[in-house]
Structure 1
Amino acid sequence: MTLRTPLLLALLLGTSATGIALAADAPTAAPQRPAKLDSNNDGFIDRTEAASSPRLLAKFDQLDTNKDGKLSREEMPRGKHGHRGPGRGHGEQLAKLDVNKDGRISREEAKADPRLAERFDQMDLNKDGFLDKADRELRMKQHRDAWFAAADTNKDGQLSKAEFDAAKGPMHGPRHGREGHEGRPGVAPLTK
């Protein structure tokens, strides 16, 4: 009886952070993408540099449209977000800004990225003068709380199955073959 309520609450909270959970559970067997393919910093990727990425090397001749033996930024395939070339991931950019390698970005370190410096105060949720794990966790909690508040349409501090199903939206799809938990003995609605 009491085991199911925390389990359902964990399920509810997990749905708001599905992307994070999926990223955390991603298999580690996949080869890691090299941090930087253009090792000589000439703005091009030649065949020897492309050799560190087997997928890129396999498409090298197809991508080298001007047949000059190197790939320019324009010849690089677009990533899933429309960016060309071997751009840096968000985590890599932040790690690069962390000059003193203390695991957090100070206001002074953020000045190296004008866009980040502009948003620093907005992102420093705990107002400690640093962007760090505590700020990310606080932001995730705010998102979960906002999701729960929006899902709790009757504002009773609990989510019925109908509220939960309506709130999870098309992203999570229908719950085939599962009965609702209302009316089942010993199973309470989800509460915050």
Structure 2
Amino acid sequence: MRNRKPLLLLALLMTTGAAGLAVAADTPTAGDKPARVKLDTNGDGFIDRSEAAKAPRLAEKFDTLDANKDGKLSREEMPRWHGKRHGRGPGMHDRMAKLDVNKDGRISREEAKADPRLAERFDKMDLNKDGYLDKADRELGMKQHRDAWFAAADTNKDGQLSKAEFDAAKSPFGGPRGGKPPVH
């Protein structure tokens, strides 16, 4: 089975609005756990004030981010990643925004010609075949990926995932669910 990570990540990062798609604190680095897991030292799935203190920028915005004022940050309350690649140059969001010359929130075939690699893959990425790369393509790609993941995880093909099937399934990013090694 071929590796779908680059295409999935490209689809996830291709944005049409101001909001980024990936959660900064959940963005894994090569061979590393997601940053949120590093901050969540007690493993409860939340970042409390003492855990946030390890990340000064997060700690300084803690009260603003804590929307429900429960003293901890959930995944939904964590700041969004806006295409910045942690100081390593412009991210996908920035590159796509520059390609969108007419600022209509989508990349036409003509606009894509400014990036030869994108132009080369344009037809493959234009999933709904409307001649544009946009939110609809991104959402269709994510749906196709979820459907494929579910079909692979549903080993008995009953249209439902048992806990055992879910636990045995690999995450969409290739590793086992929950970061735990599979039980053999």
Distance 2:94 2:78 in 1: 20
TM-aligned CA deviation for residue 28 of structure 1 = 3.9
Runs of 4+ in 1 over 2 A off after TM superposition: 20-30, 168-171
TM-aligned CA deviation for residue 171 of structure 1 = 4.6
> Is 1:27 paired with 2:78?
yes
Counterpart of 1:150 in structure 2 is: 152
Paired amino acid for 2:106 = R
Distance 1:86 1:122, change over 3 A: same
Distance 1:93 1:26, change over 3 A: farther
Distance 1:141 1:26 in 2: 24
More moved, 162-171 vs 135-144: 162-171
- Structure 1 regions of 5+ residues with no counterpart? 1-16, 36-78, 175-192
Distance 1:21 1:105, change over 3 A: closer
Paired amino acid for 1:108 = E
Pick from 147, 161, 179 the counterpart of residue 173 of structure 1.
Answer: 179
Could you state the TM-score of these two structures normalised by the residue count of structure 2? 0.50
Paired amino acid for 1:27 = M
Counterpart of 2:105 in structure 1 is: 103
Pick from 123, 126, 141 the counterpart of residue 124 of structure 1.
Answer: 126
- Structure 2 regions of 5+ residues with no counterpart? 1-11, 13-20, 25-74
The SS at the match of 2:89 is coil
Counterpart of 2:53 in structure 1 is: none
Could you state the TM-score of these two structures normalised by the residue count of structure 1? 0.48
The SS at the match of 2:146 is helix
Q: Does structure 1 conserve the Cα–Cα contact (< 8 Å) formed by 2:128 and 2:137?
A: yes
Alignment of 1:1-192 (within 5 A): 22-23=23-24, 25=76, 27-28=78-79, 86-168=88-170, 170-174=176-180
RMSD: 3.1
Same amino acid, percent of matched pairs: 74
Paired amino acid for 1:90 = M
Distance 1:163 1:86, change over 3 A: closer
Q: Does structure 1 conserve the Cα–Cα contact (< 8 Å) formed by 2:168 and 2:177?
A: no
The SS at the match of 1:108 is helix
Distance 1:87 1:143 in 2: 28
